[in-house]
Amino acid sequence: MLHLTADIGKTRLEIHVADITTLDVDVIVNAANTSLLGGGGVDGAIHRAAGPELLAECRTLGGCDTGSAKITNGYQLKARAVIHAVGPVWHGGGSDEETLLAGCYRTALDLAAEHRLTSIAYPAISTGIYRFPADIAARIAVGTVASELASIPRGIERVIFCCFSAGSAEHHKDAFVGMGLV
């Protein structure tokens, strides 16, 4: 099992292979769809683990634009909150997908800081049914988070890139190496 860490200022970045719904962090990020009303993959798993109250709160939010995010309570999760980030569907790279994906990671960091949450876990947003190439997505995830934390301190002490598979973790590890974090 791959477990890798790196530090950026006062923030520890980690890669884990785990079920994001089981992590003991302040907030987990949900790879949501624009309705925010649940779906498959990590979205469905988070909604199931959090309980019906999560869906009820999501119904009050009026959806979310691609590349952005909204925050709710965590309900039955160990995490106190859930940030629902809507990643782009991959259409070959010519539809601003990379910018939209980076927006998910950036907005989630901003929401976590705004709510004084000091630990955050991200899934590999858009790499499932949205077909974003996992290697490119990992590079964007790590690069966006690392550059944002280096340029604007937010009080976040711990960031976990929570990968569902060893293959996804390897892509994140490659991104760490490519950025000179390890």
CA distance 151 to 109: 12
Instruction: Give me the CATH topology for the region 10-178.
Output: Leucine Aminopeptidase, subunit E; domain 1 (3.40.220)
- Over residues 152-175, the mean pLDDT reads 93
CB-based contacts of 159: which residues, under 8 Å, 6+ apart? 11, 12, 13, 14, 119, 120, 121, 122, 145, 149
How much is the pLDDT for 153? Answer: 75
pLDDT on residue 143 = 97
pLDDT above 80: residue 172 = yes
Residue bearing the bigger pLDDT, 6 or 34: 34
Residue 70: which residues within 8 A CB-CB, separation 6 or more? Answer: 36, 61, 64, 83, 84, 111
pLDDT, one tens digit per residue, over 65-107 is 999 999 999 999 999 999 999 999 999 999 999 999 999 999 9
The pLDDT of residue 2: 60
pLDDT digits (tens, 9 = 90+) for 4-23: 898 888 899 999 999 999 99
The single-letter DSSP state of residue 117 is -
List the chain domain ranges.
Answer: 10-178
